[in-house]
Each structure stands twice: as C-alpha cells, then as structure tokens.
C-alpha cells in the first residue's frame, strides 16, 4: 500500500496542488492537531478543504487520530512530551490507521498532510512513517524539490544527525562496547521524538 506525506510549509496553493498532481494524489488526510496557520492562512482547515474540493480532491481531517498532540494524556511521559511509542497504542490512533488502510484498499491515493516541510522534523515522519512502514504501508515523503524520500532514507538521515560518529561506534561494537545500526536508528527516533513531541506544561491525572 503506497501512502504519501507532505508538509505544506509556506508553499503557495498552486505549488502545493502541483506537487499533489505530480503523484496523482486524490485524497488529502490532514494530520495536524491545530489545522490553522498564522502566516499561511490558505492552509486553514476550512480554506484548504474548500480549495481542495473545488479541484476534485477528497479532504479528511484526522488530527484527533494521528497528530502528535494527543487529546488523551496517557501517552505523555514525566518529561512532559508525548511518547510516540505509547501513542501508537492508543485506540484512536489504531482506528485512524485502519481508516487509512480502508482508504487505500478503495483505491484512494492518500497523502498525509503536516505543517513542516522536512519529514525528519515532523510527526508524519517520526510518528506516522515509522509506524505505517511496520504495518504494510510503503511510505513516500514528498520533498521540497518534488522528489520522494522513503522511510529508509529518513532513517539514514537520523543516523547522520544523531550518530555522525557511528563508524567509531560500530568498531566498538566489534569488541562488545557499542550498539548496532538498528539500535542507533531506534535511538534516533527517540531523540527526534523528544525534539518534536508536543509538550504540556503540567501533567494532570485523567
């Protein structure tokens, strides 16, 4: 199952639509917790839906199910940010992914919409992409230059960002002192999660 992701950044609506057209997208699933933009009002939920519908696209808002900002506090850790490894076990998240599967099975070419252009700095790469790839999806991140990055490409970026000295770490692993590449990637996801996970000032009991 192919599924695409894109960050609207500060793109004009014409450019945004052109990027969707390049990959024959016909359904935009908005994963933003707050579907409004102070500086790019063309991406406010109502304006975006109207613009997309006029061009024949299906627009579905699924921020409640798939956003990094969770309505429930069960996935927030003691440091005050959402732990994505917990969020994927929330009932609403699981149901959201099932809806994506159904949409793909019906022939929709879906793109998951976030705000940030770079998927390594956005929930669609660190939360959604990671989980979807484990559940049978072929995740394709649409980049600024219209090219596609796979989830594997993103994981390579995580290694470069957080383990630039991994060659030495790998040498250490030969003598039992290091971690292997897969463990580095998993740690990279955790570090990225800490950077972008939605934070709350004070945890409150449910």
CB contact set of 126 (below 8 Å; sequence gap of 6+): 84, 119, 120, 189, 192, 193, 196
Question: What is the C-alpha separation between 44 and 145, in angstroms, rounded?
Answer: 24
Which of 40-49, 75-84, 87-96, 147-156 shows the lowest per-residue confidence on average (mean pLDDT)?
A: 75-84
Query: Shortest CA distance to 125 belongs to which of 149, 101, 160, 91?
Result: 149
Paired tokens of 45: 């939920």
Which of 42-56, 66-80, 127-141, 169-183 shows the lowest per-residue confidence on average (mean pLDDT)?
A: 169-183
Q: 19 near 53, Cβ under 8 Å?
A: no
Average pLDDT, the chain: 91
Within a 10 A sphere around the Cβ of 145, how many other Cβ atoms?
A: 5
Let me know if 69 is exposed, middle or buried by CB neighbors in 10 A (0-12, 13-18, 19+). middle
At 176 the pLDDT is 55
At 180 the pLDDT is 84
Which of 1-10, 24-33, 127-136, 170-179 shows the lowest per-residue confidence on average (mean pLDDT)?
A: 170-179
- Per DSSP (E only), the strands in 11-124 are 27-30, 58-61, 110-114
pLDDT, mean of residues 30-54: 95
Residue 165 binned pLDDT confidence (cut-offs 50, 70, 90): confident
Does domain 2-196 bear CATH number 3.40.1760? Answer: no
Question: What is the C-alpha separation between 60 and 13, in angstroms, rounded?
Answer: 17
Cα-based distances in Å from 13 to 32, 42, 93, 178: 17, 7, 29, 47
Question: What is the C-alpha separation between 83 and 190, in angstroms, rounded?
Answer: 8
At 37 the pLDDT is 86
Question: What is the C-alpha separation between 161 and 155, in angstroms, rounded?
Answer: 10
Query: Does the structure show a pLDDT above 60 at 204?
Result: no
Query: Shortest CA distance to 184 belongs to which of 166, 157, 197?
Result: 166
Query: Does the structure show a pLDDT above 80 at 172?
Result: no
pLDDT, mean of residues 74-96: 95
Paired tokens of 155: 């994981």
At 139 the pLDDT is 98
- 110 by DSSP, 3-state: which? strand
Percent of the chain scored above 90 by pLDDT? 82
pLDDT tens-digit map of 58-71: 999 999 999 999 98
At 199 the pLDDT is 81
Question: What is the C-alpha separation between 26 and 52, in angstroms, rounded?
Answer: 9
Percent of the chain scored above 70 by pLDDT? 90
Q: What is the residue extent of each domain of the chain? A: 2-196
At 203 the pLDDT is 47
Cα-based distances in Å from 99 to 62, 90, 92, 103, 183: 10, 15, 11, 6, 31
Query: Does the structure show a pLDDT above 80 at 83?
Result: yes
């Amino acid at each position: 199952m192919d599924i695409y992701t894109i960050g609207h950044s500060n793109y004009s609506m014409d450019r945004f639509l052109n990027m969707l057209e390049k990959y024959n997208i016909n359904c935009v699933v908005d994963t933003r917790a707050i579907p409004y933009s102070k500086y790019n009002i063309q991406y406010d939920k109502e304006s975006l839906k109207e613009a997309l519908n006029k061009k024949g696209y299906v627009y579905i808002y699924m921020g409640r199910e798939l956003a990094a900002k969770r309505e429930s506090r069960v996935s927030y850790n003691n440091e005050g940010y959402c732990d994505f490894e917990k969020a994927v076990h929330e009932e609403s998240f699981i149901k959201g992914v099932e809806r994506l599967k159904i949409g793909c099975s019906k022939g929709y070419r879906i793109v998951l919409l976030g705000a940030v252009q770079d998927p390594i700095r956005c929930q669609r790469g660190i939360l959604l992409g990671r989980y979807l790839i484990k559940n049978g999806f072929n995740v394709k991140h649409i980049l600024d230059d219209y090219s596609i990055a796979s989830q594997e490409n993103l994981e390579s970026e995580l290694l470069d960002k957080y383990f630039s000295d991994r060659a030495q770490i790998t040498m250490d692993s030969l003598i039992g002192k290091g971690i292997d590449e897969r463990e580095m990637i998993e740690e990279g996801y955790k570090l990225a999660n800490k950077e972008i996970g939605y934070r709350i000032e004070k945890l409150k009991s449910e």
